[in-house]
Chain A
Amino acid sequence: MQQAQYQLIIVGGGPAGLTAGLYAARGRLKVLLIEKGAAGGQVLVTDWVDNYPGFVEGVSGFDLIDKMTTHADRFGLEKKFAAITSLQLDGDIKTVTLENSEVFTAKTIILSTGAKPRKLKVAGENEFSGRGVSYCATCDGPFYRNQEIAIVGGGNTAIQDALHLTKFATKVTVIHRRGELRATKILQEKAFCNQKIDFLWNTQVKEIRGDRTGVVELLLSHHDGDESILKVTGIFILIGITPNNEILPLDQLRTDETGFIVTDQEMATTIPGVYAAGDIRSKRSRQIINAAGEGAVAELSAERYLGHQAPDQPLNCSE
């Protein structure tokens, strides 16, 4: 019978993938983690993480990922940085093909591809991306010193980033299509008390307009049917996330109506030997700690599926 090169391949190097990688490498599995960009995923754009247990004073998103990577590296996690062009997940041996045509096989797969910011899908959004349209407040906030900007959204990310952006902008207008915020009470209180933050309720952005210099104004549409213009040089679109599922065989995996993968509580997908962890999973709570926890559960499930024993190695008692 054909032999798989790896016992486990992990697809995606955010907190879920890095934790699964840490567990697998520490558990002496023959494991490979494949990441298309830079390890870290969405945590990289998180300015400050204040609720990851053990980091009493909080930690920057970059530093947390750096520590997770270093931790997995300590156990010798093998990593490859390349985009995947196809995934064949059915059958006993799964096949992963990379953009350079390299092929890897494994008995089990953990999908931890994560999610990305959802687009507003209005005129001008793509045209002015990086020139006034942003999805990352921590990356781009300092470009808006002493300027007036807008934020679209009403969830935790939108309100936390609105607060962050008041460090730079003179005025931050939060545009929300509903009449109340979804963000947690503590964030709402901070935002309502902040003199620099204004709210436009029951309002939607219809068009982003600009010129050679970048974004200049937004065309807004209000609940009562009226339209208005808001002069801003920047618009931060923070309206939730959409799954990174482009490379996944969606005809074989059960997903929810928004394209996130459905698993059982052991992180098993509908395909035997294939698990999902982190933001790619269909779920309500999307926290870094969830992603890390799910990565651990997925790895332990994969080990059980493998009936795992450490690969045959001579016993070395000197370690």
Chain B
Amino acid sequence: MASDKVLHVSDSEFDAKVIGNTLPCLVDFWAPWCGPCKAIGPVIDELAAEFDGKVVIVKMNVDDNPATPGKFGIRAIPTLILFKGGEIVDQITGAVGKSQLQALIGKAI
């Protein structure tokens, strides 16, 4: 079950919804052909519920939106980038566990 707490954004919305967001944002760059991306999907949904109101959990499909991943030099997915005040706080690549993602998010709150 996809969570309704997860914000799906496109290239054209990225600046307004992520860079300009007053809350920290964790962006999951993913694609439907990537097994590890699909495997961490449920964890992303859980994080969205867990950090609701504190951190925005965002997903961007890199197939439909090539400009933003290109801008951040992403050449591997899943890549998760944590933004705060429009700046990158930290990032992580690969299907990591929930605790590693919680630790990553902890750097912005």
Contacts and interface: CB of A to CB of B under 8 A. Distances in A.
Contacts of B31: 142
A213 B73 contact: yes
Give the contact-size bracket for chain B.
20 to 34
B32 to A, nearest CB: 10
Given A130-B79, A130-B93, A62 B73 contact: no
Give the interface centre of A39, A83, A136, A233 by most chain B CB atoms within 10 Å: A136
Nearest to B37: A139
A39 B38 CA distance: 11
Contacts of B39: 37-40, 44, 62, 65
A27 interface: no
Given A38-B39, A130-B79, A139 B34 contact: yes
A46 B79 CA distance: 18
B34 A37 contact: no
Contact of A136 (B43, B63, B76, B79): B76
A153 interface: no
Give the contact-size bracket for chain A.
35 or more
A315 to B, nearest CB: 36
A117 to B, nearest CB: 11
Interface string B34-75: 111111100100000000000000000001000001000111
Interface of B: 31, 33-40, 43, 63, 69, 73-79, 93-99
Nearest 10 CB-CB pairs, A to B?
Answer: A38-B39, A62-B35, A130-B93, A44-B35, A130-B76, A143-B75, A37-B97, A140-B76, A38-B95, A139-B34
